[in-house]
């Protein structure tokens, strides 16, 4: 859900194609003027919108190539279509941790920190216990991307399976970052999946590279309230 110039745009997947509905309130009602999927036709699932500091909006999504691949491009001014001339392959499932049960990279979410773009994503089939989160970095919102050498940065444990497909949010005072993600219902059943939330932080890279994105999860013990919560 993204706001631009007083209009709210709701991006959602229907029959494995991304669609957009609009409203004048974040509470809706949302409607499509034309009930049709986004263009170009390669746009499939897992849409994510990122607004850069210069006001340009970018759209990231999954298409089905050699497995699930993440692509991205510039959103046009209408916020309903993507400029096909800007489309680029972001990441594809070319590492072992991304290929459990099926070759999958999906669920892109972008963070920008100290001028570096962090493309966070999920790897492997969502039903597999090894479904996990990793990231890649770039100095441009459309890459090229360098995958973090110690991926995945959040994965299953002895008490939580399938911990991935996420978004980010901040504490009330903006001083902390949280990852909101789903996990399998239990160690044996995928559905109905459960919603989880844990802390995220950036730490310096001893090798001098971009700050390292750390996810402090999955956790099961009680956690402190978010910074600024009342």
Cβ-contact 144, 138 below 8 angstroms: yes
- What gap in Å lies between CA 19 and CA 195, rounded to an integer? 24
Cβ-contact 11, 79 below 8 angstroms: no
Residues forming beta bridges with residue 182, ordered by sequence position = 164, 195
What is the model's pLDDT at position 63?
97
- CA torsion sign for 137, 181, 54, 172 is negative
Arithmetic mean of pLDDT, 85-100:
98
Arithmetic mean of pLDDT, 87-106:
98
What's the mean per-residue pLDDT of the chain? 97
What is the model's pLDDT at position 16?
96
In this model, does residue 82 exceed pLDDT 90? yes
What is the model's pLDDT at position 33?
87
Q: What is the pLDDT of residues 98-148, one digit of tens each?
A: 999 999 999 999 999 999 999 999 999 999 999 999 999 999 999 999 999
């Amino acid at each position: 859900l993204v706001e631009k110039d007083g209009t709210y745009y709701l991006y959602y997947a229907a029959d494995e194609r991304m669609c957009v509905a609009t409203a004048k309130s974040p509470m809706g009602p949302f409607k499509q003027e034309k009930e049709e999927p986004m263009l170009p036709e390669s746009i499939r699932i897992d849409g994510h919108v990122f607004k850069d500091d210069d006001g340009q909006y970018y759209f990231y999504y999954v298409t089905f190539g050699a497995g699930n691949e993440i692509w991205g491009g510039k959103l046009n001014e209408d916020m309903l279509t993507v400029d096909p001339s800007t489309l680029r392959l972001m990441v594809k499932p070319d590492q072992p941790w991304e290929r459990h049960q099926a070759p999958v990279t999906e669920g892109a979410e972008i963070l920008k920190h100290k001028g570096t773009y962090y493309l966070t994503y999920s790897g492997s089939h969502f039903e597999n216990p090894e479904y996990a989160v990793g990231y890649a970095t770039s100095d441009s919102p459309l890459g090229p991307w360098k995958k973090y050498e110690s991926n995945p940065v959040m994965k299953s444990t002895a008490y939580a399976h399938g911990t991935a497909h996420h978004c980010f949010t901040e504490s009330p005072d903006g001083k902390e970052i949280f990852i909101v993600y789903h996990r399998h219902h239990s160690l044996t059943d995928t559905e109905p999946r459960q919603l989880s939330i844990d802390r995220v932080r950036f730490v310096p890279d001893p090798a001098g590279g971009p700050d390292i994105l750390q996810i402090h999860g999955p956790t099961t013990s009680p956690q402190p309230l978010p910074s600024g919560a009342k």
